[in-house]
């Protein structure tokens, strides 16, 4: 298996798990905090989308699809404490923007050579992400990290375990 196929397979596996956790949640349930101080899934989902956009933009010579105006601000660290559902996007919008950004990230992967996956990351992030492949894969692992939190939210809502 070539490196791009392996990265695509990894991204697809994470996307399967994340989509399963999100599939049956309502807009109201996306705002549920399982304990005081925990982030609700709506904020986490938007944060992940904005992060994927930012990470994709780190690949030299790449342009990701634009986020809707004000999207990144809605999902900033400062916004995480808000319980006002009207301050965030609804589930349908989050899903649509997620799909746009994911298509963009996969286009980034398609657009660079196998050799370019080893190109050094920008100096500002090189200690965290040594190369372009690490940047792309970090977007994926970030989703899976939050999905682990979603399992707890789901159980606190009385939803069944999925995996």
The Cα-based distances of 60 to 4, 18, 105, 148, 160 in angstroms read 17, 28, 13, 31, 42
CA-CA distance, 152 to 16, in Å (whole number)? 18
pTM as predicted? 0.95
Residues in CB range of 80: below 8 A, 6 or more apart? 39, 43, 47
CA-CA distance, 72 to 129, in Å (whole number)? 22
List the domains of the chain with CATH numbers: 3-156 (1.20.120.450)
HSE-up of residue 160 (Cα within 13 Å, Cβ side) = 5
> For each of the chain's 163 residues, which pLDDT tens digit applies?
899 999 999 999 999 999 999 999 999 999 999 999 999 999 999 999 999 999 999 998 889 999 999 999 999 999 999 999 999 999 999 999 999 999 999 999 999 999 999 999 988 888 999 999 999 999 999 999 999 999 999 999 999 999 9
CA-CA distance, 20 to 120, in Å (whole number)? 34
On whether the CB atoms of residues 40 and 157 are closer than 8 A, the answer is: no
């Amino acid at each position: 298996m070539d490196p791009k196929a392996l990265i695509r397979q990894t991204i697809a596996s994470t996307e399967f798990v994340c989509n399963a956790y999100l599939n049956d949640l309502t807009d109201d349930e996306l705002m549920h905090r399982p304990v005081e101080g925990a982030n609700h899934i709506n904020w986490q989902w938007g944060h992940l989308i904005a992060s994927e956009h930012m990470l994709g933009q780190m690949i030299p010579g790449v342009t990701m699809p634009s986020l809707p105006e004000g999207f990144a601000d809605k999902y900033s660290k400062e916004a995480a404490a808000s319980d006002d559902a009207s301050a965030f996007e609804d589930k349908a919008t989050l899903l649509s923007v997620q799909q746009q950004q994911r298509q963009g990230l996969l286009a980034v992967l398609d657009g660079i050579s196998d050799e370019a996956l080893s190109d050094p990351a920008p100096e500002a992030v090189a200690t965290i992400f040594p190369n372009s492949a690490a940047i792309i894969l970090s977007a994926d692992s970030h989703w899976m990290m939050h999905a682990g939190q979603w399992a707890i939210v789901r159980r606190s809502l009385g939803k069944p375990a999925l995996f």
